[in-house]
């Protein structure tokens, strides 16, 4: 009898704790709303946790935030970053920055998956870098870094038997992260083969979805990030009133001061940290063989376009240039860059995506680029001149005409348009 | 085929609970289900070393066969002869696979040896200990099955704690009384939950949330202070890494001890509030205890006796100093053949020698104050010396000085 009491006193609390934990994660709990401050922090956090999640993005997008998809350029919080400009000049929109080093089309495609009802009929900005279009496309490790089981499950549950979804399933299965869970991998195999997922898979996935969603909601309350402070610091440098000539002068001035230690127009800190000393010698003519014209990324990008079309999203695309002096130094082929640009634009325009700000030829503009391939002071201002009217003025309902030929190997490898 | 790394995720604990339950019921009623325990041990070994880690699994099997030949061979020899050179060669043979595994990445940069597997060093400690105790005559009989159980005891296979054969054998054969077993189970549950706090909350916070951010800042300041990289961020890194190291490893050790307790085996504890240590010697009695005790018993003590017996060093106070130096140097090499592990070893040897001088000085001068303030100061100094040694140990200085671009 005594032993039995002892047993209860040992395992009773464990059983209660386990029960509570199961309840916590399996009940569809709402967990309240996030404060405005949390929204603000999340919008500029660029944290994988935010990218992988759902709840905070949903709430922010309902409250006037607009997704800005991109990659490493978003993480430069200098004075003219779109997040800084929008906050300073009290625009009717606030950018929700989605993307950091290594995030490409495939990551963005999955980020969108549980934001359907927030994106339908809305506007977004999409910064598409030629550097994504490498021979092997999305790097599996970078994809894994942003991989979200929740988004993947949401996607699987709604997947249909069509070329886009079959392609996406195949792509995921090529990534180690897509195979990290057995249930997910099995369901993906089904979708890739054009079969529907089994009822058992669906039940397991639904249970997991609830659990992951609760986890996301719970932990999204904890935003620890220093980027918001950077944004607020940068705001102080800007003039009180928006005036293009004044901002141009400021951009020139700040850019001039910040690129004083090298001949390439690269920000001093970037130059010292990444390029100084022997690195520079090693980089001379190091990019002569770079080629962005053939890449699986073209089809990954097509996934994103298909999704935009399904939800009638209006998209402002921005194609950033490459710092011309840097390209010359590293021997990057400009004809190749132009052909890449043509190919991307062709894919966009053939399907009715007509808001494209192509900056490819601006790589030689002074203080346009902050370093090698990232938009900087005047570059962001130029982008803002397209972004601001696009987001603040009424746009006609887009008419898209999605073509599945962009999912083919033939398109990925073609160097001749038409 | 699935692969599960020990104690790395919630599923592992579910597996553990489900499979151990029948064994626990048996122990509660005073019986050890040996066959069942053997089967689940096999399953766990398969989960740890199967699937994507199958090469490691093969290496483990090869290693076990090899150690059986070495240890069993020595046991057979020991029955009728006792030559020192045989003993020394057997110990060397037993250590050889570990030496190869540790040397491979140093010789062929970054290459991992094919004969390596998770936990090889811990199995080596166990095997070498067998040979040494046979030499001493404290282990008389070589029982192959018990030796296999001892080596392959799955709760501790990956990173210890390092048990002793005779203790293990006793616990295995002698089932604890119900009262005692319930105490152990209660302790185990407590350890598991403490381990969750340590490894998955604190260790995660320091290691996964904080450390990469701090590392980035520290690297960006690598030109600071006359290109030594000494910056505030580096100091932050030092403390954060130390916290991570402790909570991660102590958390793991708690899990390993808890799982052993549930199986009725009282695997020794690995940590005893190490940051409360009042000097370096005290620290090594509290930090990674099964390792430091192993080194104490099988290297330090033996070396000290050897030096004294052969009068290698005249001055008495020099003997422990030499022994410390060798002891910690070997420990450094054991961690890996890189400059920072070796410097870490030497640093601790130096610290403990200085500490010995201080203790001798204190003994001679009894008028020196001793109160809770001086004790607090001692703890503070020890803590900082230890954290600094962990900064060396972390290898971050290597990244900072020689690798970061």
Nearest CA in chain A to B205: A224
Distance CA B186, CA A37 (A): 44
Nearest-Cα distance to chain A for B72, in Å, is 42
Q: Does B178 touch chain A (CB under 8 A)?
A: yes
Residue A276 touches partner B, C-beta closer than 8 Å:
no
Residues of A in contact with B189 (CB under 8 A): 10-11, 14
Q: What is the pTM of this model?
A: 0.78
Cβ–Cβ contact B2 with A under 8 A: yes
Mean pLDDT of B332-354: 95
The answer to whether the Cβ–Cβ distance between A182 and B220 falls below 8 Å is no
The answer for residues whose C-beta is within 8 angstroms of residue A271's C-beta and 6 or more apart is A261, A262, A264, A371
Looking at residue A30, its pLDDT comes to 65
Residue B50 pLDDT exceeds 90: no
The set of residues, in sequence order, having a beta carbon less than 8 Å from that of A144 and lying 6+ positions away, is: A175, A176, A177
Asked if B185 and A10 come within 8 Å (Cβ–Cβ), the reply is yes
Helix, strand, coil in percent for chain B, rounding step 5: 75, 0, 25
Quick one: CA torsion of A236, A239, A243, A246, rounded to 10 degrees? Answer: -110
* Residues in A 168-187 with any Cβ partner in B closer than 8 A: 182
Give the residues across from B59 on adjacent strands: none
Q: Do A3 and B178 touch (CB under 8 A)?
A: yes
Residue with tokens 């940051």: B275
Interface contact A278, partner B, CB < 8 A: no
B227 close to A (CB below 8 A): no
Q: pLDDT tens digit string along B111-166? A: 788 898 999 999 999 999 999 999 999 998 899 999 999 999 999 999 989 999 99
- All residues of chain A having their beta carbon less than 8 Å from the beta carbon of residue B182 are 3, 6-7, 10
pLDDT at B298 over 90: yes
Residue B161, preceding bond cis, omega within 30 degrees? yes
B263-289 pLDDT, tens per residue?
999 999 999 999 999 999 999 999 999
Provide, as residue numbers in chain A, all residues whose Cβ is less than 8 Å from the Cβ of B262: none
**Looking at the partner chain, which of B2, B179, B220 has a beta carbon nearest the beta carbon of A273?**
B220
Regions of chain A where pLDDT drops below 50: none
If contacts are CB pairs under 8 Å, which of residues 14-43 in chain A contact chain B?
Answer: 14
Q: Find all residues with CB under 8 Å of B373, minimum gap 6, and list them.
A: none
Topology at the third CATH level for domain A45-139+251-413: Rossmann fold (3.40.50)
Span B198-236, pLDDT tens digits: 999 999 999 998 998 899 888 888 777 777 888 899 999
pLDDT in tens, B16-40: 999 999 999 999 999 999 999 999 9
Give the pLDDT of residue B361. 94
**Quick check: B310 and B326 in contact, CB under 8 A?**
no
What confidence category does residue B404 fall into, taking pLDDT thresholds of 50, 70 and 90? Answer: low
Edge-to-edge strand list for the sheet holding A314-319 = A94-98, A65-69, A123-127, A314-319, A356-358
Percentage of chain A with pLDDT > 90? 79
* Residue with more model confidence, B223 or B97: B97
Question: Nearest residue on chain A to B183, judged by CA atoms?
Answer: A6
DSSP string of A298-335, one letter each residue: HHHHHHHHHHHHHTT-EEEEEE----HHHHHHHT--HH
ipTM: 0.81
CB pairs under 8 A between A and B: 20
CB distance A263 to A308 below 8 Å: no
Segment 245-274 of chain A within 8 Å of chain B by CB: 272-274
A6 touches chain B (CB under 8 A): yes
């Amino acid at each position: 009898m005594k032993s039995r009491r002892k047993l209860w006193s040992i395992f009773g609390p464990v059983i209660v704790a386990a029960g509570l934990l199961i309840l916590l994660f399996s009940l569809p709990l709402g967990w309240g709303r996030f404060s405005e401050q949390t929204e603000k922090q999340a919008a500029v956090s660029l944290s994988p946790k935010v990218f992988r999640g759902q709840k905070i993005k949903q709430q922010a997008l309902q409250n006037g935030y607009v997704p800005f998809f991109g990659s490493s350029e978003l993480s430069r919080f200098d004075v003219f970053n779109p997040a800084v400009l929008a906050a300073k000049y009290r625009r009717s929109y606030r950018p929700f920055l989605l993307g950091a080093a290594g995030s490409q089309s495939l990551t963005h495609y999955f980020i969108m998956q549980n934001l359907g009802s927030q994106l339908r009929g809305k506007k977004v900005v999409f910064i598409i870098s030629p550097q994504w279009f490498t021979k092997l496309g999305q790097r599996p490790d970078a994809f894994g870094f942003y991989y979200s089981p929740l988004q993947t499950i949401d996607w699987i549950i709604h997947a249909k038997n069509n070329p886009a979804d079959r392609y996406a399933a195949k792509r995921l299965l090529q990534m180690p992260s897509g195979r990290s869970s057995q249930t997910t991998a099995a369901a993906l195999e089904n979708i890739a083969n054009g079969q529907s997922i089994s009822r058992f898979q669906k039940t397991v996935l639904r249970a997991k979805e609830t659990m992951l969603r609760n986890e996301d909601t719970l932990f999204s309350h904890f935003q620890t990030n220093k980027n918001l402070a950077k944004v607020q610091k940068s705001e102080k440098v800007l003039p009180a009133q928006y005036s293009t000539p004044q901002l141009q002068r400021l951009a020139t001035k700040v850019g001039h001061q910040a690129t004083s230690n090298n001949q390439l127009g690269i920000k001093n800190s970037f130059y010292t940290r990444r390029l100084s000393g022997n690195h520079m010698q090693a980089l001379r003519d190091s990019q002569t063989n770079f080629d962005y014209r053939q890449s699986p990324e073209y089809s990954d990008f097509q996934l994103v376009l298909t999704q935009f079309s399904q939800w009638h999203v209006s998209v402002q695309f921005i194609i950033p240039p490459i710092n011309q002096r840097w390209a010359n130094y590293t021997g990057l082929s400009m004809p190749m860059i132009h052909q890449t640009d043509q190919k991307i634009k062709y894919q966009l325009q053939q399907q009715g995506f007509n808001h494209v700000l192509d900056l490819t030829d601006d790589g030689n503009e002074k203080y346009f680029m902050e370093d090698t391939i990232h938009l900087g002071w005047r570059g962001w201002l130029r982008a803002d001149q397209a972004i601001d009217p696009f987001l603040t003025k009424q746009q006609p309902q887009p008419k898209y005409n999605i073509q599945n030929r962009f999912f083919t190997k033939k398109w990925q490898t073609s160097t001749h348009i038409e | 085929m699935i692969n599960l790394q020990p104690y790395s995720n919630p599923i592992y604990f579910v597996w553990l609970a489900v499979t151990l339950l029948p064994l626990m019921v048996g122990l509660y009623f005073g019986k050890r289900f040996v066959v069942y325990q053997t089967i689940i041990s096999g399953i766990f070994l398969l989960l740890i070393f199967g699937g994507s880690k199958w090469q490691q699994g093969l290496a483990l099997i090869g290693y076990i066969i090899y150690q059986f030949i070495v240890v069993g061979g020595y046991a057979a020899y020991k029955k009728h002869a006792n030559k020192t050179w045989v003993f020394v060669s057997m110990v060397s043979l037993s250590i050889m696979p570990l030496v190869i595994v540790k040397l491979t990445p140093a010789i062929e940069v970054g290459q991992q040896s094919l004969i390596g597997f998770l936990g090889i060093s811990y199995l080596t400690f166990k095997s070498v200990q067998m040979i040494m105790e046979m030499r001493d005559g404290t282990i008389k009989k070589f029982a192959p099955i018990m030796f296999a159980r001892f080596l392959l005891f799955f709760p501790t296979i990956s990173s210890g704690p390092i048990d002793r054969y005779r203790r293990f054998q006793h616990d295995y054969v002698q089932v604890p009384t119900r009262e005692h077993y319930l105490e152990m189970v209660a302790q185990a549950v407590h350890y598991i939950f403490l381990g969750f706090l340590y490894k998955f909350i604190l260790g995660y916070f320091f290691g996964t949330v904080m450390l990469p951010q701090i590392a980035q800042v520290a690297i960006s300041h690598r030109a600071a202070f006359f290109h030594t990289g000494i910056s505030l961020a580096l100091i932050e890194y030092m403390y954060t890494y130390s916290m991570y190291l402790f909570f991660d490893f102590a958390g793991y050790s708690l899990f390993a001890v808890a799982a052993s307790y549930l199986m009725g085996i009282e695997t020794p504890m690995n940590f005893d509030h190490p940051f409360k240590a009042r000097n370096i010697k005290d620290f090594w009695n509290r930090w990674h205890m099964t390792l430091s005790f192993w080194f104490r018993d099988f290297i330090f003590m033996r070396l000290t006796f050897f030096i004294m017996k052969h009068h290698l060093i005249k001055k008495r106070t020099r003997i422990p100093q030499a022994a410390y130096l060798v002891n910690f140097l070997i420990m450094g090499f054991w961690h890996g053949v890189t400059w920072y592990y070796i410097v870490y070893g030497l640093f601790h040897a130096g610290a403990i020698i200085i500490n010995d001088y201080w203790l001798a000085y204190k003994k001679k001068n009894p008028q020196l104050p001793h109160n809770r303030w001086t004790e607090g100061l001692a703890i503070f100094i020890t803590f900082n010396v230890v954290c600094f040694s962990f900064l060396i140990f972390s290898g971050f200085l290597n990244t900072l000085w020689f690798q970061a671009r």
